[in-house]
Amino acid sequence: MDNVIAPLRQKLQELALSAQFDTLLERSKQLLRASRQENAAVTEVVALLSLAEAYRIIGKFHEARVLVDGAHDAAQGLAHPRLRADALIERGLLLLEGYFQPIEALNDFREALHIAYEHNEAAATASALLGVAHAYQALGESDRALIWAKESISTAQELPTPATTAQLWLVLADIYRVQRRLGRAQACLQHAQQLIDANGYTLLLGDALYQASLLQANPIAQLMEAVVMPTLSSAQRARYLETLATLFTQEKDFESARKIARSYLEHAQTWRSKPHETVAFALLGYVNTHAGANDEAQAAYAQALALAREHKNPYQEAGILEALAGIAFAAGDYDETLTHLQAARSVYLALDYDRKARLLLGRLLLTHVARFVQKLIAFVRRR
């Protein structure tokens, strides 16, 4: 049976990569029904994973989470290393794209890597390495992301299918762009585009267009055009909208930025995704902060904070607390700044995210100094 799993997984994943979402759902459901009728536990896990991938792509994150958790538990019960690793990788992707939980995703990718490496599963090893790079990039740690992405190169290029290699070049393009190494970013993007075009990876075309547009001097027009592509995944469309709102804010076109942020909110509500709703309100807070509308910004961030706590996403909660601290610091309210920073740091410490906790310690010390100077000036003036 094991010699059937790899080609079956590959065939279903090719449907996803070619953006044949309806066909992927139908084939996966057919496989699930047949597997259960024949008591074929291994192919049932494959079907569950494929359905989870399909639902993740179209934005049904709750359904995807139920399916991938079921697949993970079943794979563990079967003691099947390839499927255990695949389930952890799929859950990691879902945690990144659907729930904005990069620390939890990093843990899943690392566990998948350990399993795949121990059992000499090359495809899962390459995907897990790529997942680790994705997670570090989501955490804003591009240097560490680059180390793991490079680690994946040799393994990915030796695989019989080029999909992982194409995704790897896209991640490298993103890392180099963030690091302002634009020549290397462009070269990586060209490698990815060649593989995408040669293999008909329509789903990855959205990521390639995203990187290409941001490498341009004025990316807004191309981003606006690309966001209406029917083959974008829900996570891709969310990223386009968030980036557009950010770019309009940087251009001081706050009305357009607010319009895009509200569009993001509408999409999040259509997907019934509380984590994306949280991002949408935080995005409105970001726009209003830069527009100088602090009351509106604080109100939007307050809604985002309530949602983050409601769906128990401490990573999002800490980021919002940092944003609120920034508003308070700019207003000279150092006591409120300290309250928000201390709360955010406590969250990062609870997540064992020591790097961010150390960075916030520096901001706390700076705020204490600013508060001392403020009180000293007030004391002198009273004298």
Instruction: Give tens-digit pLDDT for 190-201.
Output: 999 999 999 999
Q: What is the pLDDT of residue 28?
A: 96
pLDDT at 299 over 90: yes
Q: Say whether pLDDT at 71 is over 50.
A: yes
Backbone angles phi, psi at 171, to 5 degrees: -65, -40
Each residue's pLDDT tens digit, 122-181? 999 999 999 999 999 999 999 999 999 998 888 888 888 899 999 999 999 999 999 999
Across the range 209-227, mean pLDDT stands at 90
Q: What is the pLDDT of residue 40?
A: 94
Q: pTM higher than 0.85 for the full model?
A: yes
* Interatomic CA distance for residues 161 and 39, integer angstroms: 30
**Which residue in the block uniquely carries the two structure tokens 């494929």?**
50
Which residues neighbour 289 within 8 Å (Cβ) at sequence distance 6 or greater? 297, 323, 326, 327
Quick check: 382 pLDDT over 90?
no
pLDDT(261) > 90: yes
> Which pLDDT score, from 0 to 100, does residue 1 have?
46
- Please state the rounded mean pLDDT for residues 264-279: 93
Residue 3: is its pLDDT beyond 90? no
200 torsion bin: left (phi>0), alpha (psi -120 to 50), beta (else)? left
Distance CA(200)–CA(262), nearest Å, equals: 33
Arithmetic mean of pLDDT, 223-228? 88
- pLDDT surpasses 90 at 240: yes
Average pLDDT score over the chain: 95
**Can you say whether the dihedral through the CA atoms of 101, 103, 107, 113 is positive or negative?**
positive
4-26 pLDDT tens trace: 788 899 899 999 999 999 999 99
